[in-house]
Amino acid sequence: MNPAPASDRELVLSRLIDAPREKIYRAWTEPELLKQWFAPAPWTTPSAELDVRPGGANLIVMRSPDGKDFPNRGVYLDVVPNERLVFTDAYTEAWEPSPKPFMTVIVTLADEGGETRYTARVRHWSVADREAHEKMGFHQGWGQCADQLAALAAKL
């Protein structure tokens, strides 16, 4: 089940994960755990630096199968442990504007009948950015990552 996007600039992915939200939150906020699921295999995440607090920066590096690194910098806007993470690439660190902002991500975790409703809302700066993200394979890639996240959370 995917909730409807709130606008023509938003993409949404939602999954019911058979794990408590505390475990899913840990997988999002502990670097060693995030590196295990964040990129859709066969991509990897060799590096993750996370300062999980409002205003804290992150640097997550995704590596393609051919060995090319793709660093992703951002800043956390809102953090509610075990419930919500909001982060954006509009800033790189210490409120330094990024050269090309692309998205803001809102991850929510809600109890649902002993499982967790995991929802990722990705809001883009423009319709063109949203369309580009869809063409990059948003639904498949974020869906695969959600499956990897669920598998990891089940083992924690």
pLDDT digits (tens, 9 = 90+) for 35-86: 999 999 999 999 999 999 999 999 999 999 999 999 999 999 999 999 999 9
Which of the four pLDDT bands, split at 50, 70 and 90, describes residue 97?
very high
| Contacts with 58 (C-beta within 8 Å, 6 or more apart), sequence order | 48, 49, 50, 51, 52, 72, 73, 74, 75, 76, 87
> Cα separation of 30 and 69, whole Å?
21
pTM of the model: 0.94
CB neighbourhood size of 56 (10 A): 17
> Cα separation of 42 and 31, whole Å?
19
What domains does the chain contain, in order, with CATH numbers? 10-155 (3.30.530.20)
